Amino acid sequence: MRIVGLTGGISSGKSTVSNLFKAHGIPIVDADLVARDVVEKGTGGWKKVVSAFGEDILLPNGDIDRQKLGRIVFSVPGKRKLLNQLLAPYISFGIFWKIVKLWMKGYKVIVLDIPLLFEAKMDRWTKPTIVVWVDPETQLQRLIARDGQSEDDARNRINAQMALDLKRDKADIVIDNTGSLDDLNERFQEVLTEVTKPLSWIEFLFSRQGALSTLVIFTVGAITCRKFYNNGV
């Protein structure tokens, strides 16, 4: 199985590229969706968050008030790190479980869409790793246009992240999304060809088909050896 990593900076176009993969039938494991699932009411993640941040962060129906929690973690020093530490094991397991389910379905190529791929060191598990890069001015303008924020707020959000140039340096494949959507589509076709090329032997062994073939070969080998052994004795 080939596990492709997809990341970028805020408003660099990661979701746009993720949607292109989806449209071409490649399954996506979306870390943001997993992060949402792990704080669903009554789950282990929900309990951890409530015990650390108090029942004040709950809505009347018991769901976590995301906006309130967001305000706390971005304004009180240390709280963001605490939240990340509390939820990291649940998110990692959630991602792992989604990969297992896709593996069982027999997918050969999947994409992990993870904003903090490098920060969480999850790029250890992905090959190739794709970074959607954009020049800083275009990134700022797209963020302002998408989220309707002031220029200062948009700059602060960009500056709070790992520098996009640093992510670009760590990438196996860079998608430069500074141009138009047509340019992006054109580059995407090249990347799609690259990520869907035939699996290497190692990738094949880690695919469901590879694991089953290995199992069949070992079973047939063991039965044959036993027959020879029994005939010889």
Tell me which residues touch ligand ADP (CB under 6 A): 8, 10-16, 142, 146, 177, 180-181, 184
Contact status, residue 21 vs residue 29, Cβ threshold 8 Å: no
Residue nearer to ligand ADP on the CB measure, 63 or 147: 147
- Our CB check for ligand ADP shows the closer of 3 and 158 to be 158
Shortest gap between Cβ of 178 and ligand ADP (angstroms)? 8
Q: Nearest distance from residue 93's CB to ligand ADP, in Å?
A: 24
Q: Which amino acid is at 224?
A: T
Whose Cβ is closer to ligand ADP: residue 57's or residue 114's?
114
Contacts for 94-102: CB closer than 8 Å, 24+ residues apart: 94/34, 94/35, 94/37, 94/38, 95/29, 95/31, 95/34, 95/122, 98/29, 98/34, 99/3, 99/29, 102/27, 102/29
State the Cα torsion 81-83-89-91 to the nearest 10°. Answer: -110
Q: Which is nearer to ligand ADP, 41 or 146 (CB)?
A: 146
Closest distance of CB 183 from ligand ADP, Å: 7
Least separation, in Å, of the C-beta of 143 and ligand ADP? 7
